[in-house]
């Protein structure tokens, strides 16, 4: 597993994300830190999806609330993803990792 910790959006060196999991890898976006802010959550998903798509990735959201009662379904849901992008709360501290390594 390799870790990338940009402190704002995709960071100042998005090419490092590309190096972790070269496109057209699937990027799973998790935004559950914003569950209490549905409007901000929608905006963040749109911005991050657009940013990843612009780098050639295939972004898709994974809502952890769908797995609270059946956590065993989470592993199959993540199979085939190149990276997981977990977005922080109101601040934009985010991190991503390549789960294939």
Q: In what order do the strands lie in the sheet with 83-87?
A: 2-4, 94-98, 83-87, 26-30, 58-61
For the segment 28-49, the average pLDDT, to the nearest whole number, is: 92
Query: Mean pLDDT in the chain?
Result: 82
Q: What is the mean pLDDT of residues 75-85?
A: 86
Q: 49-67: per-residue pLDDT in tens? A: 999 999 999 999 999 999 9
- State the pTM of this model: 0.82
Average pLDDT value for residue range 29-49? 92
Taking a C-beta distance cutoff of 8 angstroms, is the pair 26, 80 a contact?
Answer: yes
Residue of higher predicted confidence among 31 and 13? 31
Give residue 46's pLDDT.
95
């Amino acid at each position: 597993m390799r870790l990338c910790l940009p402190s704002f959006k995709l960071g100042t060196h998005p090419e490092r994300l590309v190096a972790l999991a070269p496109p057209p890898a699937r990027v799973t976006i998790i935004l559950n830190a914003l569950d209490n802010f549905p409007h901000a959550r929608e905006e963040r998903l749109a911005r991050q999806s657009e940013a990843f798509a612009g780098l050639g990735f295939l972004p898709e959201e994974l809502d952890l609330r769908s797995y609270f009662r059946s956590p065993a379904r989470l592993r199959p849901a993540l199979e085939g993803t190149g990276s997981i992008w977990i977005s922080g709360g109101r601040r934009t501290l985010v991190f991503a990792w390549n789960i294939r390594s």
